[in-house]
Amino acid sequence: MSEQKRKRSWWKWLLSLTLLALLTPVIVLLVFKASTEKAWEQYEAEWHSRDPFSVSHYLPAPVPKSQNLAFHPLFENLEKRGSPAHTWFASFRANPACPGAQDDFRANPATMQRSDLSRIASVALLDSKKERIAELVRLNQPVSEQLDQLSEALAQRPHYHVPHPWHDSLLLLETESSGLQILSAAHGYLLRATLHLHSENPSGAAADITSCLRLSSVVGQDPLLMNLLAECKLRSLALSALWDGLAGKSWSEEDLRKLGKKLSTIPPAHDRLLNVIRVSRAQVLGLIDQLQDFSAGGGSGKAPALTRFFLAANRLSYCRDLQECILAPGGELAQQTTRSGLRHYEERLQDRAQGLSKYINAPSLMMATSFSGPFSSTLESDGEVLAARWAIEIELHRAIHGSYPSTLEALTPTALKTLEAAVTKGQKTVYQLKKDGTPVISIEWPAGTGPAKDTVWSYPPSNP
């Protein structure tokens, strides 16, 4: 073979190897793309009927505008910054009696701390307690008038479904925080209830607690994570004022029965967490769809093959992680969110955030939410409500019999049966009397299954 032929043969081999090196990744990618898109389509077809992925499946039932707080003048367009409703609720934070929705004066049953108005810096500490309360009431008067309007609206309209753009996941993200705007009003209820207690007006305090609990219930009606968390926070603010009155033996039998009846109507927040997780999943899938539409030129054409593979892989991994760990472990739809399932899910997310996978799964990793915090928040909130219901029955026993019951079995059979039915699987109510005769109530869970901490209501010593 001549030198010239050998050179031509060498170049042919080099060119062939170069083409093969260039084409192999493309061929592999096309195979993976086809298999990944097909796998997502099969997965969606298999699960959509059992565990729907579309956000439209989880929309709350429509209610007449006359019953929907979202269309009340105080609430209408609250989700839109600059609207009259948004400005009205923001004004609660400018309360001259307690600027910035400060709440460190609130009572805390876990630390046996009663409410302490001296922590409010808007009034000079040199004044007497009576003068300080009178000045706080005067400064709070504009907010007090707003709270009366809000209480009236809550009494008239039992529902709150903001007309969120459910079809548009991006706009939904921007507007779903309307529930958080309402928190400042709850601080107003807390302050006024506390002032009522310090002014020997327990019935006024009970009315404010009831309004705040009613507000928490309506805020949580939309199945959105921010709304659920806002509901738990609103409950916590209301219950701190309730405990303050219980610890001070402020309530009459009539007040106690009304408060107990209101607490019995509050649905467990934790029971709704699975539904909220499913709505969160639908939002993430909607955002991924919008990324695909954007890459296709706003929906005017088909997205590039690489983009479709990339996003199909994200949909598949994200939904499988949620399904296998939280929503349907073992292939059966879950009835409750579990701590172990959440831990498994977070481990999956950490694994996907390693090596090449973190680039492939970047969109879903950025959008995925950790649900451990909401898991603890909902369980703690439900535990606080249950502890409050027990505490009210215990306080009623004291008001009628002159002393706290030695055991929970000493309560009336009706109260005992009702409250025992409210204890969820795995929960345990522990009750004891301290040496000074005051009660301690705790709601406990088996290790590793409950919130970050047990719920404890520990009364201050009767003779400090």
CA distance 339 to 446: 11
Nearest Cα to Cα of residue 56 among 240, 232, 283: 283
In this predicted model, what pLDDT tens digit does every residue of 189-236 receive, in sequence order?
999 999 999 999 999 999 999 999 999 999 999 999 999 999 999 999
> By C-alpha distance, which of 449, 267, 295, 257 is closest to 372?
449
Is residue 316 in some structural domain?
yes
Q: 322: exposed, middle or buried (C-beta count within 10 Å: 0-12, 13-18, 19+)?
A: buried
Which helix or strand (DSSP H or E) is residue 144 part of? helix 141-156
Q: How many CA atoms, within 13 angstroms, populate the side-chain half-sphere of residue 205?
A: 29
Distance CA 138, CA 407 (A): 44
Taking only the tens place, the pLDDT of each residue in 85-96 is 989 998 888 888
Structural domains in the chain (count)? 2
pLDDT at 279 over 90: yes
Quick check: is 450 in a domain? no
Confidence at residue 20, expressed as pLDDT on a 0 to 100 scale: 47
Q: Look at residues 369, 390, 412 and tell me which one is the last residue of a structural domain.
A: 369
Q: List the domain range (segments joined by +) for residue 312.
A: 274-369
Q: Is residue 363 part of a domain?
A: yes
Query: For residue 413, is it within any domain?
Result: no
Q: What is residue 101's three-state secondary structure?
A: helix
Residue 426 identity: G
Of the chain, the percentage scoring pLDDT greater than 70 comes to 89
The answer to the question of residue 24 being in a domain is yes
Please list, residue by residue across 42-63, b when 16 or more beta carbons sit within 10 angstroms of its beta carbon and e when fewer do. ebeeebeeebebebeebeeeeb
Structural domain includes residue 282: yes
CA proximity to 389, closest of 229, 233, 256: 256
Tokens (6 digits) for 345: 């899910």
DSSP 325: I
Distance CA 38, CA 113 (A): 60
Distance of alpha carbon 194 from alpha carbon 209, whole angstroms? 10
Residue scoring higher pLDDT (391 or 454):
391
Split at pLDDT 50, 70, 90, the class of 427 is confident
Task: Summarize pLDDT for 132-170 with one digit per residue, the tens.
Answer: 899 999 999 999 999 999 999 999 999 999 888 888 887
Among 341, 369, 397, the domain boundary falls at 369
Q: Are 430 and 444 in contact (CB under 8 A)?
A: yes
Residue corresponding to tokens 């109507």: 265
Residue 234 lies inside a defined structural domain of this protein: no
Helix axes 273-295, 225-247, angle to 10 degrees: 150
How far apart are alpha carbons 291 and 366 in whole angstroms?
Answer: 13
- Confidence check: pLDDT of 464 > 50: no
Helix (H, G, I), strand (E, B) or coil at 69: helix
Other CB atoms closer than 10 Å to residue 220's CB: what's the count?
26
pTM > 0.85: yes or no: yes
Residue after which a domain boundary falls, among 30, 49, 68:
49
> How open is the CA angle 339-342-347, to the nearest 5 degrees?
125
% residues pLDDT > 90 (the chain): 45
Evaluate whether residue 383 is within a structural domain: no
